Amino acid sequence: MSKIIYEKESYRIIGACFKVYKEKGCGFTESVYQECLEIEFEYQNIPFVSQPSVQLEYRQKRLQQHFKPDFICFDKIIVELKSVANLIAGHRSQAMNYLNATSFDLALLVNFGHHPLLEYERIGSRESLRKIRNELKGWTKNG
């Protein structure tokens, strides 16, 4: 049995995304879903910051460049929205880069452009995956 990182919080976020998808369907731009989710997160009392500017560093020096994830929810989960037919490796890499640039352990990659259902993926940081692997070693006979 694998451990789900921030299970309750991520289910609430994904539930809000499904609510927006049920109401709006697919085919709108990312910015439409962004705005709808802001309203839905407020309605469901999900704490969030929309498009925060996050500082980047290289060799312990601050870069002039920043990145802006679509949302940070519960002060610990990055939510990245897409509105495309299918998620591709580049979208997953973007979410993983966001995790690597922060101390966050989880990103939710949510695609409102997929038909007939909302598509989403949970992306864990390398560190969180390492922790889970170490915890699961005790579950196997050979450890």
Please tell me the pTM assigned to this model. 0.86
- The full 3-state SS of 113-137, as one line of letters, equals CCCCCCEEEEEECHHHHHHHHHHHH
Residue 32 tokens, joined: 């439409």
Delimit the domains of the chain by residue range: 7-137
| pLDDT per residue of the chain (143 residues) written in tens, 0 to 9 | 567 899 999 999 999 999 999 999 999 999 999 999 999 999 999 999 999 999 999 999 999 999 999 999 999 999 999 999 999 999 999 999 999 988 899 999 999 999 999 999 999 986 655 554 455 455 555 54
Would you state the pLDDT for residue 142?
52
C-alpha–C-alpha distance, residues 112 and 97, integer Å: 21
